């Protein structure tokens, strides 16, 4: 009885990677986490309300949504011709969720709007996570580099 339970648990934990192998999924999640951390570290250094942990979690969550969608698309949910996989819906859902979080960081005080850049960087972290989740890590890394250029270089130009 006990061995059957252990075998069932092991099967459940290892048998669900039908579309994306575990090592690939882990690599994509960690890439999203790391790239989100790069942007979050810059926001953290400027003492913004959404910093390192927030950007890491936003990026990794977006990555996970893509991975889950790929896994779900590979599962048998009935007739194949009835199956509809629409990655654009997923991207829209992630975008809306991140926009909601980003809007929460933006506030007005004394007639001035604050933290718009932080909101935008959270939105970018979500996009970077989506790119990582779909296996586009070079594109995600390139976007992260461009974001850092915008955050650091444009700040210097503005001053």
Q: Residues 128-141: pLDDT tens digits?
A: 999 999 999 999 99
C-alpha–C-alpha distance, residues 8 and 98, integer Å: 36
Please give the Cα distance from 2 to 8 (Å, whole number).
10
Convert the pLDDT of each residue in 34-53 to its tens digit.
999 999 999 999 998 889 99
Q: How far, in Å, CA of 65 to CA of 130, rounded? A: 8
Q: Is the dihedral of CA 31, 71, 91, 54 positive or negative?
A: negative
Beta-bridge partners for 113: 108
CA-based nearest residue to 64, from 20, 122, 96:
20
Who wins on pLDDT, 12 or 123? 123
User: Band of the pLDDT at 5, cuts 50, 70, 90?
Assistant: confident
Phi, psi of 113 (to 5 degrees): -95, 135
Cα–Cα dist 97/20, whole Å: 24
Report, in this order, helix, strand and coil percent for the chain, each rounded to 5.
75, 5, 20
């Amino acid at each position: 009885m006990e061995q059957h339970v252990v075998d069932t648990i092991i099967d459940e934990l290892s048998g669900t990677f039908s579309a994306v192998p575990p090592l690939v999924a882990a690599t994509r999640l960690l890439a999203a986490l790391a790239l989100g951390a790069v942007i979050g570290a810059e926001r953290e250094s400027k003492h913004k309300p959404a910093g390192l942990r927030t950007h890491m979690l936003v990026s990794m969550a977006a990555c996970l949504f893509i991975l889950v969608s790929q896994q779900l698309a590979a599962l048998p949910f009935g007739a194949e011709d009835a199956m509809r996989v629409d990655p654009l819906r997923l991207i829209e859902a992630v975008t809306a969720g991140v926009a909601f979080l980003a809007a929460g960081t933006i506030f007005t005080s004394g007639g001035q709007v604050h933290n718009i850049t932080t909101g935008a960087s959270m939105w970018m972290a979500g996009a970077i996570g989506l790119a990582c989740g779909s296996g586009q890590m070079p594109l995600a890394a390139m976007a992260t580099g461009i974001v850092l250029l915008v955050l650091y270089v444009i700040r210097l130009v503005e001053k």
